[in-house]
Structure 1
Amino acid sequence: MPNQFRFLLFLTFLSVISFGCNSISKENNLLKEYDLGNPEVFAMPESLKEISGIAFDKGRSDSVYAIQDEEGKLFRLGWQNQKAQHVKFGGKGDFEDLAILKDQVIILKSNGDLYSFPFADVRFETMDKAQEWKNILPKGEYEGLYADPVSEEIFVLCKSCSQDNAEKRVSGYILKMAGGIKKTGNFELDVEKIKALTGKVKKGFKPSALAKNPVTGDWFILSGFNKVLVVTDKNWKPKEVYPLSSNNFNQPEGIAFDKSGNLYISNEGDETLDGNILKIKRLVK
């Protein structure tokens, strides 16, 4: 057997081994520092069956703040307290995500409209009408919102926008609160690079939520439509894609980190299942 042929066989063998190892890792949900297959489950009360976005105040995990799809209410609850407190900030609507930035709560509606009100108002059942911010973002469907406590920038990610081809790219926008909410920049996700990591986005990538890992600086981008979790670097370059098993992730809609780097993902309920929040502890080696 010629030496060149032996070398080619050896390279093929190494490729098979490498592919096999990567496949096993992803099938077992072994995300770096997180075991997606072994979450701690917190059932939500009936009022949060259709839970969507979640957030923490300054990364403190003693209380979680949440919204749901149908009513303009911000909910607050502790992990051991099934009775959620809420403050009404608006009427009925398709509210998708929220962020807490300094002394303000920011809430995203699916059409791209934003609402803001003082964080101090979360203690009450009613409040003055929230400030509405319209026509800041291009027309489209939006589900992902994140506020960076360091840069104080607000990031919004399209789920389905007319200017995008979801099979090739997904647009995102950077906002700032300075005498109001203003658009200051943009970014995009290269879906072709996500495709290179998984076959689950052949029909396009439709993100549901995003959050920045406070320990690594990586972006974690959730898609309930594709049932995947995408990890990118700080410049939005995709690094890893992990499948989300329907056994644990019924309808993943929201994502957040606490200040210790523990990961939380919220799931909408249905006719037979409660809504929940899954806590995936950061595995410190």
Structure 2
Amino acid sequence: MRNRFLPAIFSLTGFISFSQGQVPYNLKQVEQLIVLPSELKEVSGITVVDQKTLACVQDEEGIIFIYDLKQERVKQQIRFAGPGDYEGIATVGKDIYVLRSDAVLFHIHNFQSDNWSLDTLATEIPNKDNEGLCFDAKNNRLLIGSKSKPAKGGEFKNLRTIYAFDLSQSRLIPEPLYIYDINTIRNFANRNGIKLPLRPSKKVPHEEEPVLKFQLSAIYIHPESKLLYVLSASDYYLFVFNSDGEIIHLEVLDPQMFNKAEGIAIMQNGDLYISNEGQGGDPKVLKFSVSRR
């Protein structure tokens, strides 16, 4: 296991000198707030169907909810499986893939047809908790982001991985596509003057330490820039990486606005949608349009 990860760790930790890039969104100004119905209280993933439609999944029932953004209502439900921990969703043409947290993929063929069909694919990703799923159209593959560390042992504590699932061969590429080191991200923040939230240190009394768990909750490739947007719901961050796995942007999110940001989707025109589970309130989708801030 050590040999599998350490070369890639070295390659990614070498890029700590990058400066903070800008993303074309002001995440402090919501253009539209959409309150989702109660059946999506545990909304855990969203994806684009078309310019006015999202597909949503929630983490308790095997149901896809097709949501009309103009009418602000669920117009179709597709029950593809029984209860389970469903965390990610991605459209690929006329098909939809849903990710269960144990890295099993559910492939729904022709999802908008009455005669849709289902395949179940065991990816065998070693990580225990997997939440991010998106389509990489350029390379005809799915990206699967893991919330948990890749293996047991202290040396893996600060590592997070994204795997690639080759759609042409319907198989997982065995080696992780990206391995991220939390220390590299922390160094990026320090070098760019980004103030991370603090908490009391567990090791040094009366000292504080930055909160940076980097537990991937959602991923999406921007259709224009091809940059990878990554949410971490548990510690309120948005990360942006280039195709080489290098971090180019880090943004601290408002915990009140993004109470549990578990889904992200970006339209062809650049409109950004982020979904929040309904912790103590209504589930919501926040819309942000391209801004020149």
Q: Normalising TM by the smaller chain, what interval?
A: 0.7 to 0.9
Give the Cα separation in 2 of the matches to 1:248 and 1:180: 38
Q: CA-atom RMSD, angstroms?
A: 2.4
Please say if residues 167 and 204 of structure 1, whose CA atoms lie closer than 8 Å, have aligned partners that are also in contact.
no
What residue number does 2:182 align with? 191
What's 1:19 paired with?
Answer: none
In 2: Cα distance, 1:122 partner to 1:112 partner: 24
- 1:255 matched to which residue of 2? 264
User: Partner of 2:290 in structure 1?
Assistant: 282
Query: What pairs with 1:35-54 in structure 2 (closer than 5 Å)?
Result: 35-39=26-30, 40-54=32-46
TM-score, normalising length: structure 1: 0.81
- Which entry has the higher C-alpha Rg, 1 or 2? 1
Change (3 A) 1:215 1:180: closer
Q: Which moved more, 1:245-254 or 1:197-206?
A: 197-206
Gaps of 5+ in 2: 1-18, 190-194, 198-209
Separation in structure 2 between the aligned mates of residue 179 and residue 151 of structure 1, nearest angstrom: 12
- After superposition, the Cα gap between the structure-2 partners of 1:181 and 1:31, relative to the gap in structure 1 and judged at 3 Å, is same
CA distance in 1, matches of 2:95, 2:169: 13
Q: How does 1:1-285 map to 2 (within 5 A)?
A: 32-39=23-30, 40-57=32-49, 60-84=50-74, 85-118=76-109, 120-124=110-114, 128=117, 130-163=118-151, 167-183=157-173, 185-186=175-176, 187-196=178-187, 197=189, 199-200=196-197, 202=211, 204-271=213-280, 273-283=281-291
TM-score if structure 2 supplies the norm length? 0.79
Aligned length, in residue pairs: 252
Question: Could you give the per-residue CA deviations for residues 87-124 of structure 1, whole angstroms, max 9, x where no partner exists?
Answer: 10000001001111123211100111111011x33354
Q: Deviations over 1:119-142 (max 9, x none)?
A: x33354x955x2111253114100
**Percent identity between the two aligned chains:** 24
Q: Could you list the runs of 5+ residues in structure 1 that have no partner in the other structure?
A: 1-21
Q: 1:240, CA displacement in angstroms?
A: 1.8
Q: Deviations over 1:141-185 (max 9, x none)?
A: 000011112221111111003427565321111111235343365
Assess, with a 3 A threshold, how the Cα gap between structure 1 residues 91 and 244 changes in structure 2: closer, same or farther: same
User: What is the CA–CA distance in structure 1 between the aligned matches of 2:186 and 2:127, rounded to whole Å?
Assistant: 26
Distance in 1, matches of 2:157 and 2:212, equals 6
Range that drifts further, 181-190 or 215-224: 181-190
